[in-house]
Amino acid sequence: MNHKELIATLASKMNAPKALVEKLLDTTVTTCTELLVDEKTIGFKGFGNLEVRKKEERLSVHPATQIRTLIPPKLVVIFKQSTILKDKLKDIPHHD
């Protein structure tokens, strides 16, 4: 689902104008980005948490050439799903 489709779906469920929903969604994403940049954890009730974690420096080896490269430390966003979401996903049939 892309941005426009998400806005249309939310607008339909909320019975609200698409322009208002788009502004709300854009403001939410901007605010979440700012909070993550400040290394704050964001919790969405019934969905999960977003948090920033530091990945340590590590050594990578190219499989074909065996050349070793040092990968510097970096910050990454981790999503931890809630128990409610995890339980709902268990009920979905697998398509292998």
| pLDDT tens-digit map of 4-51 | 999 999 999 999 999 999 999 999 999 999 999 999 999 999 999 999
Residues linked to residue 42 through DSSP beta bridges, in sequence order: 50
Share of the chain above pLDDT 90, in %: 92
The candidate with the shortest Cα–Cα distance to 28, out of 7, 13, 9, is 7
Degrees to nearest 5, angle at CA 16 with 11 and 17: 85
Confirm if 21 and 11 have CB atoms less than 8 A apart.
yes
Provide the residue count of the chain.
Answer: 96
What's the fold here for domain 44-96? Answer: HU Protein; Chain A (4.10.520)
What's the pTM? 0.78
- Please state the rounded mean pLDDT for residues 57-68: 94
| pLDDT of res. 96 | 63
